[in-house]
Structures are given as C-alpha cells and as structure tokens.
C-alpha cells in the first residue's frame, strides 16, 4: 500500500554516485554522530530551505549507500552478500558508522575476509619475476651503509638470504630449493630403506660389509654435509639472529643434523644413533615452506583450533559414557571370558567404534552389547562429521585468498593527488619552521 506523503516534514535529496535518494531530514537526525548528519545540518543552516531545493552529491559507492540509508531509517545495519568486506568497512568508516552496529546475521559475512587476512599474515608469497624487489634492496643498502657495514655484505647479504629463505624469489632460489628437497627425500628414503629385511641383520642394523651399507653411508654423508652447510649459511646471512633463533625452522634444521654427528662422533653407539633416526624425519616439515597448499592447511588447522578442541570434547564425553555402559553390560557373561575387563580398557573399543575404524580386537557378544555398539557407531558418525564442514569451509576461504595473492599482479606505486595536496603545505610549513629555528 503506497504511503501518503507528509508535506509538513522537510525532505532532502542525496545523490550518491549518480543514484538519487530522497528522505526526511528527521531520518538523518536519528544518528547525530555521523558524517551525513554533520553535512546535512551544516548545509540546511547555511541556506534557506524553503526557497531552494537541497540536493547533496557524494562521490561514493551507490549500492552500499542503500544499506547506510536503511540504517538511518530502521536502525538495523546489514551487509550485502555481493559486496567485499573491506569495501563495506571502508564505506562505514567514511559515513562514520560503527561496525559494531552490524546485525548478527551479517557479521560473519562482514568479518570473514578480515579473519582470513589475519590468519594468513605469515603466508609466504614472493614475486619471483625478479631476483629481489628493488625498493626493498635499496632500503636495505641505505640502512647498511648508514651502519658502516662492508660493501660486499651490503650487496650480497639480502640476495643470499632470499635464496635461502624465499623459494620463489629467483630462479637460483628455486633451483636451490629443488636440490634441497631432493636431498630431503633421499635422506628420508634412506632412513626407511635401511630397515628393510633384505638390508638389515637380525639386530636390526645393516652389515658393514655389504654394498648397501656403503651406499647408505655415502648418502648419509652427502646429506649431512649439505644440511650442515645450509644451516651455517642461514646462521651467517640471516638479518636478525634473535628472530632466527626463535623460529621453528632453525630448530628443525638443528635437530635433523644431530643424528649425523652422533653417528660420526660415536660410530659404535648404534642404539643411540638408531634412536635418533626418527629426528631426521623432521626435515619433511620444510615442505611447508615450499608448497603453498601445505601452508594453507596449516593456517586452516590453526584457525579451526576451537572446532578441533570442540571435536575432542564431543568425543571424550561419549567415549566415557559408552565405555561405562558396555562394561556393565558385557562383564557378566555366563561361561565366557569378556575383553571388557574395566572401563578404562573399554575406552579403546569406544574410541575405535566412534571413529568408524573398527579393528575388531574387542567386540560385544551379548545382544544388548551389540545394540550399544551400533548406537555408539551412529553417534560417532554424527559427531565427527559436524566440525569437518567448518574446517572445510575455512580451508576453501583461505585457499581462495592464497590463490588470489599468488595470481594478483604486482601493483605500481601510485600517488593520490588529494593526499599530495594536503601533505605539501604541511611539509612547507615544517621547513619554514625549521628555517626560523636556525
């Protein structure tokens, strides 16, 4: 039903990006601590409202202003689904509207981009079209010269560090990382192959007289020397020693080299060297730096830590519950020995049943126990499936952001003339004030 126009109320026309909106002045006055209220109040006081038709023009996003004006009318702020979150945040800041006024139904859509950017802050993306970004290199050289460092260090330290740390910074860095990854795979494959029955003796070690022992020893020495040199170069050319010592990659490199030197210093301590062989597998974590997909998975799990904790908690309660029930149901079997001898021993059966693994080493024998087992399996499927959808949604969002960073072309630095016009008078005033002091 059309609304009857109230001619006694003053109206104003707002032209936002070429799209005209007409509303009452009383609507704008609902929220005085906003830009639109301030502009409208100053304009209406400066001119005669009755003699002139007021039309204000704002060079802003017209579609977003629909939601802004709707907020003035209804007091409810909604975020359009087809508008980027950072763009809507920028428009809210321009109009002086607090984002906390957002309705709960739109808050997730509004903040998901911000959360993704925050969680992917440490995501390593490097432009490998050139060896090193020229602006960053000039800044590093200027700072190093100011500190009185050697010209060789000033020139080559950033380049060597980029080769060691940023696989996509240059072709040389990419070749270096490919060689390093091949040696990691070779080292891990050797650690696994050395346990095969055709190579190992009854004691579990390779005979020193076999050709396999010689081959494995040569591979171990090559990998050990390579990773030692690589660790030394990282330690030498890192720009910040304190930050480097705190990084997990440094300790992974140190721990992965320890078994090589233990075997080298104590050649007869085979038990100790074999026990430390597992540490060599830590080198596999270096794949996270090379493959962006693994980095996205790591950030997804980190962002979904609450959901994972919730999953463990959801599993813990039914495990205790079903373990207790199955124990009391199965403990009194006539003429048969039961495997459910206590509630803690029943935890294993309950956990394996709820995760739908079902090894079959512990099975109920009574019909009551089988009913409890079926209910445990069905309940486990429902509980495990719930957090998986949240983790998958986070992975899709973060993977899309990561791919956008990779495929986004490098932007050129642009000077905003409005910013330049306001910054130049400030600089001139600063220089004039400085001249007066001297």
**Domain assignment present for 424:** no
Query: Among 105, 124, 143, which residue terminates a domain?
Result: 124
**Domain assignment present for 421:** no
**What are the tens digits of pLDDT across the range 51-71?**
456 788 899 988 899 999 999
Instruction: Write the secondary structure of the chain as one string of H (helix), E (strand) and C (coil).
Output: CCCCCCCCCCEEEEEECCEEEEEEHHHHCCCCCCHHHHHHHHHHHHCCCCCCCCEEEECCCHHHHHHHHHHHHHCCECCCCCCCHHHHHHHHHHHCCCHHHECHHHHHHHHHHHHHHHHCCCCCCCCCCCCCCHHHHHHHHHHHHHCCCCHHHHHHHHHHHHHHHCCCCCHHHHHHHHHHHHHHHHHHHHHHHCCCCCCECCCCCECCCCHHHHHHHHHHHHHHHHHHHHHHHHHHHCCCHHHHHHCHHHHHHHHHHHHHHHHHHCCCCHHHHHHHHHHHHHHHHHHHHHCHHHHHHHHHHHHCHHHHHHHHHHHHHHHHHHHHHHHHHHCCCCCCCCCCCCHHHHHHHHHHHHCCCCCCCCCCCCHHHHHHHHHHHHHHHHHHHHHHHHHHHHHHHHHHHHHHHHHCCCCCCCCCHHHHHHHHHHHHHHHHHHHHHC
The structure's pTM equals: 0.57
- Check whether residue 361 and residue 382 sit in a common domain: yes
**Domain assignment present for 392:** yes
**Domain assignment present for 144:** no
The domain that holds 327 is classified in CATH as 1.10.287.70
pLDDT of residue 128: 39
- Check whether residue 208 and residue 308 sit in a common domain: no
**What are the tens digits of pLDDT across the range 298-309?**
777 777 777 778
Mean pLDDT of the chain: 76
- Check whether residue 270 and residue 196 sit in a common domain: yes
- Check whether residue 283 and residue 303 sit in a common domain: no
- Check whether residue 82 and residue 115 sit in a common domain: yes
- Check whether residue 91 and residue 201 sit in a common domain: no
**What are the tens digits of pLDDT across the range 239-270?**
888 888 888 778 888 888 888 888 788 777 66
- pLDDT of 8 over the 70 cut: no
- Check whether residue 88 and residue 164 sit in a common domain: no
The domain total for the chain is 3
Tell me the residue range of the domain where 240 lies: 151-290
pLDDT of residue 94: 92
- pLDDT of 139 over the 60 cut: no
- Check whether residue 267 and residue 187 sit in a common domain: yes
**Domain assignment present for 417:** no
């Amino acid at each position: 039903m059309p609304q009857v126009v109230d001619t006694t109320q003053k109206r104003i026309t707002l032209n936002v990006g070429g799209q005209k909106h007409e509303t009452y002045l009383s609507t704008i006055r609902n929220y005085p601590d906003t830009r639109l209220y301030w502009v409208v109040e100053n304009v209406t006081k400066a001119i005669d409202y009755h003699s002139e038709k007021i039309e204000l023009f704002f060079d802003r996003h017209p579609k977003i202003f629909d939601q802004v004006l709707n907020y003035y009318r209804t007091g409810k702020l909604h975020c359009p689904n087809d508008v980027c979150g950072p763009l809507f945040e920028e428009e809210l800041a321009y109009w002086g509207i607090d984002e906390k006024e957002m309705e709960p139904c739109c808050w997730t859509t509004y903040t998901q981009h911000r959360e993704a950017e925050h969680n992917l802050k440490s995501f390593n993306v490097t432009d490998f079209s050139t060896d090193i970004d020229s602006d960053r290199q000039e800044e590093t050289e200027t700072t190093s010269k100011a500190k009185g460092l050697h010209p060789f260090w000033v020139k080559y330290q950033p380049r060597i560090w980029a080769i060691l740390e940023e696989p996509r910074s240059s072709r040389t860095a990419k070749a270096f990382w490919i060689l390093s990854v091949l040696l990691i795979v070779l080292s891990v494959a050797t650690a696994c192959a050395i346990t095969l029955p055709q190579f190992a003796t009854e004691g579990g070690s390779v005979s020193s007289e076999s050709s396999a022992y010689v081959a494995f020893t040569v591979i171990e020495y090559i990998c050990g020397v390579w990773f030692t040199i690589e660790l030394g170069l990282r330690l030498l050319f890192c720009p910040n020693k304190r930050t480097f010592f705190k990084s997990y990659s440094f300790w992974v490199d140190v721990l992965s080299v320890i078994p090589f030197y233990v075997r080298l210093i104590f050649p007869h301590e085979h038990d100790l060297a074999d026990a430390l062989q597992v540490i060599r597998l830590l080198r596999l974590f270096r794949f996270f730096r090379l493959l962006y997909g693994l980095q996205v998975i790591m950030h997804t799990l980190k962002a979904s830590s609450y959901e994972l904790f919730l999953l463990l908690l959801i599993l813990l309660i039914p495990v205790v519950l079903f373990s207790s029930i199955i124990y009391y149901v199965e403990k009194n079997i006539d003429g048969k020995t039961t495997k459910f001898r206590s509630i803690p021993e029943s935890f294993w059966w309950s956990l394996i049943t709820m995760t739908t693994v079902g090894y079959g080493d512990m099975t109920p024998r009574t019909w009551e126990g089988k009913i409890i087992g079926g209910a445990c399996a069905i309940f486990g499927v429902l509980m495990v499936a719930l957090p998986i959808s949240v983790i998958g949604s986070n992975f899709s969002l973060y993977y899309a952001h990561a791919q956008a960073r990779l495929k986004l072309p490098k932007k050129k630095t642009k000077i905003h003339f409005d910013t330049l016009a306001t910054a130049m008078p400030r600089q001139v005033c600063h220089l004039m004030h400085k001249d007066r002091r001297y």
